[in-house]
């Protein structure tokens, strides 16, 4: 049976997640995924794929970012303690670093989650 022509070709969830990590459209990989910081575009400018509020990642986004940052931070703090760096200096370095890195990680991680949801066809319109 031939695939339907009105459905986009969904090659793999890895490709969709990688396009999302690049903050690009999960379908074509060329259009922008975000209109603003974490607000998805209504439709892809290149292929016309609809995003808007269709794919909500909910609390999984901060969970993933905090988990990744927690692992990195624990390693960095243990190394700082091993090197006997002043604890106040460690805090002065790590707190701004964690804030900046967490804000930088949010868009690509959300893009990857949107890509996986797009590939799995799990939109909020199905509820």
How does pLDDT run along the chain (127 residues), one tens digit per residue?
344 444 556 678 999 999 999 999 999 999 999 999 999 999 999 998 999 888 888 899 999 999 999 999 999 999 999 999 999 999 999 999 999 999 999 999 999 999 999 999 888 765 5
Instruction: Supply the pLDDT for residue 2.
Output: 43
Instruction: Supply the pLDDT for residue 31.
Output: 93
* Residue 31 maps to a domain: yes
Domain span including residue 29? 13-122
**Rounded Cα gap, residues 22 and 34, in angstroms:** 11
* Residue 30 maps to a domain: yes
Instruction: Supply the pLDDT for residue 111.
Output: 95
**Rounded Cα gap, residues 51 and 54, in angstroms:** 6
* Residue 1 maps to a domain: no
* Residue 21 maps to a domain: yes
* Residue 70 maps to a domain: yes
Question: In 19-50, which positions are buried (b, 16+ CB within 10 angstroms) versus exposed (e)?
Answer: bbbeebbbbebebebbeeeeebbeebeeeebb
* Residue 62 maps to a domain: yes
**Rounded Cα gap, residues 30 and 22, in angstroms:** 10
* Residue 47 maps to a domain: yes
Structural domain count, the chain: 1
* Residue 38 maps to a domain: yes
């Amino acid at each position: 049976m031939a695939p339907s022509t009105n459905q986009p070709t969904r090659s793999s969830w890895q490709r969709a997640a990688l396009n999302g990590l690049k903050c690009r459209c999960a379908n074509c990989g060329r259009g922008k995924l975000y209109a603003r910081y974490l607000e998805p575009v209504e439709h892809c400018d290149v292929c016309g794929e609809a995003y808007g509020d269709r794919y909500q990642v909910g609390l999984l986004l901060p969970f993933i970012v905090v988990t990744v940052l927690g692992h990195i931070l624990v390693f960095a703090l243990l190394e700082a303690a091993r090197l006997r760096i002043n604890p106040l200096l460690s805090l002065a370095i790590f707190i701004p670093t964690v804030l900046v890195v967490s804000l930088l990680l949010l868009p690509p991680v959300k893009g990857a989650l949107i890509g996986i949801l797009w590939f799995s066809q799990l939109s909020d319109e199905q509820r």
